[in-house]
Amino acid sequence: DAGITQSPRHKVTETGTPVTLRCHQTENHRYMYWYRQDPGHGLRLIHYSYGVKDTDKGEVSDGYSVSRSKTEDFLLTLESATSSQTSVYFCAISSGGIIYFGEGSWLTVV
């Protein structure tokens, strides 16, 4: 499982509230990613990181911000959650060019 832990695994939140999802890895991987999975869209990249304090946008970054203040943690923040951000969020790491995913965080915005 490449030592990836996501938290929380499930969350229900109200529209307009901030939400932070955490991805924690134990194996010092440089590259970390946040994806969202939605029916009919497959997985889409939100943001990724290539090192501490080094991040970049993916294809669906609007409404999301990320931070990586230490190698092991990559945080995804929804500044003001909207119903369109109800989704399953997956963190991933790259190990030798192979991508491994976390177990997912199910987020519902009501």
Partner 1 sequence: GEDVEQSLFLSVREGDSSVINCTYTDSSSTYLYWYKQEPGAGLQLLTYIFSNMDMKQDQRLTVLLNKKDKHLSLRIADTQTGDSAIYFCVVGGSQGNLIFGKGTKLSVKP
The minimum distance between CB 84 and partner 1, in angstroms, equals 20
> Does position 103 bind partner 1 by CB under 8 A?
yes
Looking at residue 22, its amino acid is R
CA distances from 29 to 17, 59, 97 (A): 31, 22, 11
Q: How far is the CB of 102 from partner 1 (least distance, A)?
A: 6
Beta bridge pairs of residue 4 = 25
Q: State yes or no: residue 104 binds partner 1 (CB under 8 A).
A: yes
Q: Does 99 bind partner 1 (CB under 8 A)?
A: yes
- In the complex, the smallest distance separating the C-beta of residue 88 from partner 1, rounded to whole angstroms, is 9
Site for partner 1 in 2-31 (CB under 8 A): none
Q: Which of residues 79-98 bind partner 1 (CB under 8 A)?
A: 90, 97-98
Number of CB atoms found within 10 A of residue 18's CB: 10
Q: In one letter, which amino acid is 82?
A: T
Q: Are strands 98-101 and 73-78 parallel, antiparallel or unpaired?
A: unpaired
Do residues 91 and 4 lie in contact, with contact meaning Cβ atoms separated by under 8 Å? yes
Binding site for partner 1 (CB under 8 A): 40, 42-43, 45, 58-59, 90, 97-104
